[in-house]
Amino acid sequence: MARLVLALLAAALIATGQVPKAEIERRLRAFEDTNFKRELRLQSLFEEAGCTGDNLTEQRVKHAQAPNVICTLPGSTSSEIIVGAHFDFVDRGKGVVDNWSGCSLLPSLFQSLKETAHHHTFVFIGFTNEEEGLVGSRFYVHQLSKEARRNITAMVNLDSLGLTPTKMEQDRADKKLIQALATVARSSKLPLSVMNVHPARSDSDSFQDSRIPAICIHSVTTAAWPILHSPRDQFSAIRLDDYYDTYLLVRAYLAYLDEP
The CA-CA-CA angle for residues 178, 181, 184, to 5°, reads 150
> How many CA atoms are closer than 13 Å to the CA of 140, on its beta-carbon side?
33
CB-wise, 80 or 159, nearer to Zn ion?
A: 159
State which of positions 132-161 bind Zn ion (CB under 5 A): 159
Asked whether position 169 contacts Zn ion by CB under 5 A, the answer is no
CB-wise, 98 or 258, nearer to Zn ion?
A: 98
Peptide bond into 199 cis (omega under 30): yes
The least CB distance from residue 99 to Zn ion, in Å, is 4
What is the number of other CB atoms lying within 10 angstroms of the CB of residue 236? 9
The least CB distance from residue 90 to Zn ion, in Å, is 9
Query: Exposed (0-12), middle (13-18) or buried (19+): which is 211, by Cβ within 10 Å?
Result: exposed
- What is the chain's Cα-based Rg? 17
State which of positions 51-110 bind Zn ion (CB under 5 A): 98-99
CB-wise, 99 or 104, nearer to Zn ion?
A: 99
CB-wise, 41 or 86, nearer to Zn ion?
A: 86
The least CB distance from residue 192 to Zn ion, in Å, is 19
The least CB distance from residue 133 to Zn ion, in Å, is 12
Sign of CA pseudo-dihedral 57, 102, 210, 199: negative
The least CB distance from residue 163 to Zn ion, in Å, is 12
The least CB distance from residue 44 to Zn ion, in Å, is 22
Strand partners for 58: 69
CA distance 34 to 161: 20
CB-wise, 159 or 245, nearer to Zn ion?
A: 159
CA distance 116 to 126: 23
| DSSP assignments along 58-111, one per residue | EE--TT-SSPEEEEEE--SSS-EEEEEEE----TTS--IIIIIHHHTTHHHHHH
How many residues touch Zn ion (CB under 5 A)? 3
CB-wise, 182 or 200, nearer to Zn ion?
A: 200
Contacts with Zn ion, residue ranges (CB under 5 A): 98-99, 159
